[in-house]
Amino acid sequence: MMTKLRLKHDDFVTALRPVVKQIPSGDVSHAVLSFRKGTLEISLIGMTCGVPARGHWPGQIRISAGAVRSFLSVLPPEDSVCI
């Protein structure tokens, strides 16, 4: 089974904005992304946001805070986002 999630663009952006605002410039911390019970969870700097999602994503991944910040500027404008 392929590992991928589908979520609504607007839900993803709305959930990410408050988290991204808390990332200091030049921050070298990492975020943890996990999927459970129909929610993509992004944990960073003591905050966790959740976005309704569908798909298959076992386990967790760790990405840089900068990558999380870049999501807001590189997401395609389509209504549905696949990661």
In a domain, 47, yes or no: yes
Task: With 0.95 as the threshold, say if the pTM is over it.
Answer: no
DSSP 45: T
pLDDT single digits (tens) 1-20: 678 899 998 898 888 888 88
DSSP 59: S
Calpha distance 17→55 (Å, rounded) = 23
pLDDT along the chain (83 residues), means of 10: 85 87 80 93 88 92 88 77 80
Count of domains in the chain? 1
User: Which structure tokens are listed for 32?
Assistant: 């943890």
Give residue 60's domain range.
Answer: 4-76
Query: Cα–Cα distances in Å, from 37 out to 17, 50, 62?
Result: 22, 11, 19
Are the CB atoms for 13 and 72 separated by under 8 Å? Answer: yes
In a domain, 54, yes or no: yes
Q: Strand pairing of 4-8 and 80-82?
A: antiparallel
CATH number of the CATH domain containing 67: 3.10.150.10
In a domain, 27, yes or no: yes
